[in-house]
Structure 1
Amino acid sequence: MSKRFYHLFTIFIFLLPLAVFSQTKQFQEVNYKMIDGKWHMFSDSDSRSFPIVDKTISLKFDSTISENEKANFEVEHNLIFVRKALTGWHDYKISENREVFTTAEQLLNSSLVAKLEIPTIGYYTLTPNDTDYNNQWYLNQANGINVNIENAWDTTTGNNSVTVAVLDSGTDWFHQDLGLGTDSYENIFLNPGEDAWSNPADPTTGNGIDDDGNGLIDDWKGWNFDDNYNDARQGLGGNTFFHGTHVAGIVSAKTNNNEGVAGVAGGFNSEGVKILTCAVGISGPNGAILDDAILYAAEIGARVIQLSLSVGSSSAIDDAIDMAHDVFGVVVINASGNGSSSSGVSYPASHNKVLAVGATTQTDSRANFSNHGANLFISAPGVGIWSTQLNSQYGSSDGTSFAAPIVSGVVGLMLSVNPGLTPVEVKQILQNTAQKVGGYNYNWNGSDPGHSRELGYGRVDAFLAVQAASSGSCTINNITTANISPCDNNGTPTDPTDDNFSVDVVVSFTDAPTTGTLDLTGDGTASVPVSGLTSPHTFIGVIMSADGGPINVTATFSDDATCTFTNTNAGKAPTSCSTPPPSCTVTNITTANISPCDNNGTPTDPTDDNFSVDVIVTFANAPTTGTLDLTGDGTASAPVSGLTSPHTFTGIIMSADGGPINITATFSDETSCTFTNTNAGTAPTSCGTLGVNDTQLSNLFTLSPNPATNRISITLNQADLSNSRITMYNLLGQKLRDITMKNVSDITVDIENLSSGLYYIKLEDNGISETQKLLIE
């Protein structure tokens, strides 16, 4: 035969007394675990489990036993003889009502038995004969850093009932390792609703009729959406790009056909997963038609849509992805992008119903170009990926574009063994079975355990994913909540941290293990034995914290830790019902008992003129420690102990500058509790330059006429006054004029629109000042 098969049928046999555990049994120091109602043996040298042969015991009698003793032994223990080997080993069936491990222990204790073993069902080890297979390190690297595909192939190599749509630059459907070539079969999807082209290699030889009524004529081998015709291999001008062909070969190049490369789901010298070819832009993806291609693939029956592209975000594409996922049950997979970004993946990989795939290296570390972050889902090899290229050639390329189709191929294998899987179930299995490689932090997010920023949930493991997807494998499908109670003020009325609520948590599952417990963790905890458990199961009255946030809960079967599911938004918790202590507020600052100006020193110098004022601060819910402090035009402080509102600071000294009183009150131990009044009253004007009878004592400037009616002149009396500021106030301290006299000695000021009364004119220049009264008639 030309096929190169390597078959290894493994039967592992062990001895020694039996120890019984709640989740496992141990025989000859080898662990056995119950999976889906059947006992499996776990080998230390192999990642797989081996189911035991049902109700079967193999034993070898003591060499001194007679035929009569053996016959009596078989009757005594109700053993049904099956066969005897030349080496003296006997295979027996035991009765249906007997437990195999208990029976094995009883038989082993007999002096007539020299050896006893419990046989297992093993696997064939399969290696394909594709000529470039050794170049595909991501499938077979000897150090074990690969996607574990050969073990997965022992279960399935891909079923032609599963279709993966490759939406890319076009796919060379004529490639010998994808299309017919020299083989009698191909892995290119052929639309059953369209008549075949009379020449399978010529798209122009169709019948010119839209046979399936989908609006596309002769789309027998997919569709070119960019050029709107039926050759998804190339553009109208004959232009091509290798990208889509490289992607398609990774998913489903024909395997074990003695040619080129092996696809992840390419069959085994027979049809594997089918590739639906959809060209969405030869030189680059066209976002305007991507939504149409997604819906076409979904409607024609694709179970997986493979995208290795990025476009600008689009509501039309969002809607198409939602419909493909929610209505048609399609798994949508997209490369994370090659921008080295740590802040997240590109679009549409960032869509919440798309599985974003990053790239790893031959050492199971993140490829340095791979976009990553909180929304990266999973990773796969993306460096040195050998696959099909144009014109029946082969080559190697790097990029997340070539990591994503590895995951698409793995999903094709999963659906081959269990076509009933939903997109949510596929996502959960991939998440649960990914390998936590690279030494990264897979617990950086407490609400999303098992996730790393660098590789998502880890590097895909094809064997574990296919094993978990096999019919009968335990799956938790969903977690919902019901009967959310109001918040219960559980302790301190003003402390929200002890406020709880109760909620019913509903867990839906299939094929639960027969032993152990179903456990809830996360925002609430609970546990129930699986014995007699039916789906859905409702955990009644689970206590959680009333923090107002989304309910995050995880359900896991204790005896099958890979059977787990997390819902980070299973409902909304009620907000805290505690009444927090009222916050401190300062509501007002007023003044009273403003004293006249006090000529505090130099009669002709207004800068030392002060006045005193009472400052009244009104507040509520003051802190119990610290002080109440005044700052601004005047300063003071009072301990809060025994302080009542309003509090009056008596006799606060301020400068008699004739302006508005600006004052701030602040509690020292709660600085956010503060209030400022920029006009809490009007300071008296300086009395330093005016006599008892208001006689002008000025020597800085002359004000004339005074009294005045329409305008006044201000003349500087000193030559060194070169940059003077003139301000004018009314009796309320409101500023009416603000004039700068720079390098001039006199100015005229219009006062025609001012009411009759008393005003103040203040001059400031280089640290000196003088205020004079002005009477307007």
Structure 2
Amino acid sequence: MLRGAATALAATALAVLPSLPARADTIRAQEWALQAMHAQQAWQTTKGAGITVAVLDTGVDATQPDLKGQVLPEKDLVGFGAGPGDQAWADHGTGMASVIAGHGHGAGRQDGVLGIAPEARILPVRVILEDGDPQRERARTEKAGALADGIRWAADHGADVINMSLGDDSETAHPEPREDAAIQYALGKGIPVVASAGNGGEKGDHVSYPAAYPGVIAVTAINQQHERGEFSTRHWYATVCAPGDEIIMSNPDRSYYNGKGTSPAAALVSGTIALIRAEHPRLSPAQIKQLLAATAQDTPQGGRNDDFGAGLADAAAALERAATLEPAPQKPAPAAYSRRYFGPGPTPEPDAAEPTDWLPWTAAAAGVLLLAAGAVIRRSRP
């Protein structure tokens, strides 16, 4: 069953910095996220070479100097809308790609944006259009299944990590079985899936999808004072947090943007996972999710909370701990929603000793969707 509207961008507020040159002393000095997540220490072990991060977004400009040579051919699952040279084209996707795998440019690549995994590859999968694209409403209705299709396509075409800096955190947001099944498909193939927790911190903290699907690594955002970004959604599904305020990112127009949102926070965690997978490719998605939580900095009292998850993702600590882990001996059971969210519900819960079955979830979700029939769903950019 398809949504009545297409998945849309996770709202990242972008402020263009037209006078900001690309010199290292202006761009690199502002990339506080790399220091906060201990990227320099992690780079002593790996910079993500050999790992492919699928960026399910608006598209990525492969000619952007900070990404040139790093971007694989794009899969466009929308098929229309703005293109190169248009004002509303691939701003968001290019920005996320630069946060993940930007390598800078110029002599010695000392200029421009440096991503957290600067030697990783980007696999662009265009599943949504920019907010300002005149064809956006058409995409909502005609390409409602693009996200689910994009997840499966990425899983089948070499993705080692899937990043989704997008989500639906509207009042009518609800789980979509086709998207959930696609995520379980990717997880079953051993591919970690990351999503923005949502930008609803000032709008009611509504549950955001795909962040709330089982098995997804959902990322909230902090500012430079390591406080929760006021926009960052607080919810039970938060796994970890990452920098999401005053994040410098590359743009197709060759400007640099100062952005905020859980979008760049998710991208930073996807890049961190790229570093982990470069050294430990056999760790399962569940192991990586647990690893990020276990090695997080600034752990809240009690081990986690809805604002920060388990704390600030730490690339160096995660890599160090990963070296002590043995890969999961067998394929894990599909991830399942916690009782905390759904409660006992009308469907009996499976025995704790038995693998979670897909069918009960499908039946429950179908019932939710029937009750919500006719609702107009929108996606907003986290």
Q: Which residue of 2 aligns with 1:289?
A: 146
* Letter paired with 2:179: I
Deviations 1:391-437 (A, max 9, x none): 22212101001100000000000001111111111111101101125
Structure 1 position 463 matched with structure 2 position 358: no
Aligned residue among 233, 236, 250 for 1:388: 250
Instruction: Find 1:226's aligned residue among 52, 55, 78.
Output: 78
Inter-partner Cα distance in structure 2 for 1:281 and 1:427: 26
Aligned-partner Cα distance in 1 for 2:85–2:64: 19
Amino acid at match of 2:129: I
Which residue in 2 is equivalent to 1:420?
282
Paired residue secondary structure (1:132): helix
Aligned residue in 1 for 2:54: 165
Residue identity matched to 2:233 = N
Task: Verify the 8 A CA contact 2:24 2:112 in the aligned structure 1.
Answer: no
How many residue pairs match? The answer is 294
Counterpart position of 1:138? 33
Residue 296 (structure 2) pairs with residue 474 (structure 1):
no
Cα shift at 1:570: 4.8
Partner amino acid for 1:162? I
1:188 aligns with 2:71: yes
**Residues 359 and 379, structure 1, Cα contact 8 Å, conserved in 2:** yes
CA drift at 1:365: 1.3
1:428 is paired with a residue whose SS is helix
Maintained 8 Å contact 1:343/1:374:
no
- Specify the code of the residue in structure 1 equivalent to 2:274: G
Matching of residue 338 in structure 1 with residue 199 in structure 2: yes
Q: Does 1:351 align with 2:213?
A: yes
Change (3 A) 1:234 1:467: farther
Cross-structure match for 2:41: 151
Say yes or no: does 1:240 pair with 2:89: yes
Aligned residue number for residue 366 of structure 1:
228
Asked if the contact 1:342/1:373 (under 8 Å) is kept, the reply is no
Provide the secondary structure at the position in 1 that maps to 2:113: coil
Give the match's secondary structure for 1:296: helix
Q: Distance in 2 between matches of 1:477 and 1:379?
A: 25
| Whole-angstrom distance in 2 between the partners of 1:344 and 1:435 | 26
Shift of 1:131: 6.0
Instruction: Give the structure with the larger strand fraction.
Output: 1
CA contact (8 A) 2:103 2:114 kept: yes
TM-superposed deviation, 1:466: 1.4
**Is the contact between residue 282 and residue 327 of structure 2 (CA under 8 Å) also seen in structure 1?**
no
SS of 2:117 mapped into structure 1? coil
Residue 100 of structure 2: aligned partner = 251
Q: Which amino acid aligns with 1:259?
A: D
- Describe how 1:262-341 pairs up with structure 2 within 5 A: 262-266=114-118, 272-283=119-130, 287-311=144-168, 312=173, 313-326=175-188, 328-340=189-201
CA-CA distance at 1:237 after TM superposition: 7.2
Gaps of 5+ in 1: 1-127, 141-145, 180-185, 190-220, 267-271, 444-449, 480-548, 550-568, 573-777
Q: Following the alignment from structure 1 to structure 2, what is the Cα–Cα distance between the partners of residues 158 and 317?
A: 28
Give, in whole Å, the separation in 2 of the partners of 1:451 and 1:464: 18
Residue in 1 that maps onto 2:137: none
2:123 alignment partner, SS class: strand
Aligned residues with identical type, % of pairs: 32
TM-score (norm 2): 0.71
Question: Aligned letter for 1:172?
Answer: D
Offset, 1:375? 1.3
Does structure 1 retain, via aligned residues, the 8 Å contact 2:283–2:326? no
Deviation, structure 1 residue 173: 1.1
Cα distance in 2 between the residues matched to 1:342 and 1:282: 25
Q: Taking structure 1 as reference, are residues 236 and 259 closer, same or farther at Cα in structure 2, changes over 3 Å only?
A: closer
Task: Give the drift of 1:345.
Answer: 4.0
Q: Deviations over 1:526-584 (max 9, x none)?
A: xxxxxxxxxxxxxxxxxxxxxxx9xxxxxxxxxxxxxxxxxxx8539xxxxxxxxxxxx
Distance 2:277 2:311 in 1: 21
Deviation at 1:344, TM superposition (A): 5.9
> Cα deviations across residues 9-42 of structure 1 (Å, max 9, x unaligned)?
xxxxxxxxxxxxxxxxxxxxxxxxxxxxxxxxxx
Deviation at 1:283, TM superposition (A): 2.5
User: Structure 1 or 2: larger helix share?
Assistant: 2
Q: Which residue does 1:176 correspond to in 2?
A: 65
**Once the 2 structures are TM-superposed, how far is the Cα of residue 469 of structure 1 from its aligned partner?**
2.1
**TM-score normalised according to structure 1 size:** 0.36
Supply the AA of the counterpart residue of 2:70: N
Counterpart-to-counterpart distance in 2, 1:365 and 1:570: 37
C-alpha deviation, 1:294, in angstroms: 0.8
Unaligned runs of 5+ in 2: 1-22, 132-139, 331-343, 345-350, 355-382
- Give the Cα–Cα distance (whole angstroms) in 2 for the partners of residues 291 and 356 of structure 1: 17
The one-character-per-residue Cα deviations of 1:601-651 (angstroms, maximum 9, x if unpaired) are xxxxxxxxxxxxxxxxxxxxxxxxxxxxxxxxxxxxxxxxxxxxxxxxxxx
Q: Would the alpha carbon gap of residues 362 and 236 (structure 1) be closer, same or farther in structure 2, given more than 3 Å must change?
A: closer
AA of the residue aligned to 2:64 = H
2:307 counterpart of 1:454: yes
Q: CA deviation at 1:139?
A: 1.5
Mapped partners of 1:188, 1:130: distance in 2: 26
**Aligned: 1:376 with 2:238:** yes
* CA–CA separation in structure 1 for the residues paired with 2:257 and 2:310: 29
Q: How far did 1:353 drift?
A: 1.5
Q: Is the 8 A contact 1:235 1:282 kept in 2?
A: no
Please state if 1:411 is matched with 2:273: yes
Report the Cα offset of residue 133 of structure 1. Answer: 0.8
Alpha carbons of 1:168 and 1:344: their partners in 2 closer, same or farther (altered >3 Å)? same
- Amino acid of the residue matched to residue 169 of structure 1? T
Counterpart AA for 2:264: F
Distance 2:85 2:66 in 1: 24
Q: Distance in 1 between matches of 2:263 and 2:289?
A: 19
SS class of match (1:295) = helix
